[in-house]
Amino acid sequence: MTPIVNGLEEQYSDQVAFISYNARDAADGEAAFRSLNLPGHPSFVLFTAAGDEAYRAQGIIDEAVLQQQIDAALAG
């Protein structure tokens, strides 16, 4: 998933802030996964600019699906 996410991050770099966490990272990852109630890797959560959750998924997601969800979140 990393190459897909990196490609989307490059494509949307002027519109979207991408933040990634590793659940095994005791410093930030564990806390982030707990606070967002994420069950495991990979998990994706998209938020609108207002901070509202727009999309949530777990597992391997097709790049086109992620792109579609990002576009929908940007459209409002």
Distance (Å, whole) CA 8 – CA 30: 24
Query: Can you tell me the mean pLDDT for 3-23?
Result: 92
> What top-level class would CATH report for the domain 2-75?
alpha beta
Distance (Å, whole) CA 32 – CA 27: 9
Residue 56, phi then psi, degrees to nearest 5: -145, 135
Distance (Å, whole) CA 59 – CA 47: 18
What are the tens digits of pLDDT across the range 15-55?
999 999 888 887 788 889 899 999 888 999 999 888 999 99
For the chain, give every domain's residue range.
2-75
Burial level of 21, CB count in 10 A (0-12/13-18/19+)?
Answer: middle
Between residues 39 and 67, the one the model is more confident about: 67
